[in-house]
């Protein structure tokens, strides 16, 4: 799964790198984005404006907002059959902006805390996760847009730490993901990242605290 990620670039740099449209005026670099927090999302492939959504998809039929805490990730293999994601997969796909993500390495059979690692592209280049989004209205008529990150089997670089990873889309594939396409065409995009420019290093367990959002989160720690 993907439970934390980063988006540490400033708005203008990100806008230029990914050829985006309008950026939120309240943009701030983030080093420890956690579930239920707001994340930067693009839903339209032509204007490419960036907006905020809550991380943790809340299906339109949900009775309680708390279901979103269990819907931060959507498995690529089951998008067509899971009721929570099926309609969004067909009609409401999005890009979630990032420049890195965290995964935790566990030691089976040993009573020691999992070790966090930060994954990022060489040069700290930004990229996009394949995502889904939904519109939900609470019983009190509160309107919320929320999203989930799609995950797939890990590539060799990530597999040494965790068996799954977020779907990272390339520069061309990201806009294809937002366009009207058949299910077989979409499925071809939901593959493990194949680039050799994905790097990683161990980071501090401070990222286990959602409230800790600081550049120290991505600093390399000695093995």
Q: What are the residue numbers of the active site?
A: 2, 103
The sign of the torsion formed by the CA atoms of 205, 209, 215, 218 equals positive
Strand order of the sheet with strand 198-202?
30-33, 4-7, 100-105, 115-121, 198-202
Q: Which helix (H) or strand (E) holds 97?
A: strand 93-98
Q: Is 217 exposed, middle or buried (0-12, 13-18, 19+ CB in 10 A)?
A: buried
Q: Checking DSSP bridges between strand 73-75 and strand 143-153, what pairing results, if any?
A: parallel
- Residue identified by tokens 């566990």 is 106
Q: Around 36, how many Cα atoms within 13 Å sit in the side-chain half-sphere? A: 8
The sign of the torsion formed by the CA atoms of 57, 80, 165, 167 equals negative
Q: Is 64 exposed, middle or buried (0-12, 13-18, 19+ CB in 10 A)?
A: exposed
């Amino acid at each position: 799964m993907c439970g934390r990620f980063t988006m540490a670039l400033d708005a203008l740099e990100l806008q230029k790198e990914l050829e985006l449209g309008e950026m939120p005026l309240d943009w701030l670099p983030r080093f420890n984005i956690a579930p239920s927090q707001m994340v930067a999302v693009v839903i339209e492939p032509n204007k490419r404006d960036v907006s905020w959504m809550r991380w943790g998809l809340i299906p339109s039929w949900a009775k309680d907002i708390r279901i979103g805490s269990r819907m931060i990730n959507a498995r690529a293999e089951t998008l067509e059959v899971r009721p929570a994601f099926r309609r969004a997969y067909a009609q409401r796909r999005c890009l979630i902006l990032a420049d890195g993500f965290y995964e935790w390495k566990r030691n089976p059979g040993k009573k020691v805390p999992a070790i966090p690692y930060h994954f990022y592209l060489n040069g700290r280049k930004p990229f996009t996760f394949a995502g889904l989004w939904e519109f939900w209205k609470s019983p009190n008529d509160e309107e919320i847009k929320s999203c989930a990150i799609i995950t797939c089997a890990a590539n060799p670089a990530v597999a040494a730490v965790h068996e799954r990873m977020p779907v990272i889309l390339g520069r061309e594939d990201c806009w294809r993901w937002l366009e009207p396409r058949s299910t077989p065409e979409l499925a071809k995009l939901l593959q493990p990242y194949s680039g050799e420019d994905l790097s990683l290093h161990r980071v501090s367990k401070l990222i286990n605290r959602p409230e800790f959002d600081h550049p120290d989160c991505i600093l390399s720690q000695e093995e």
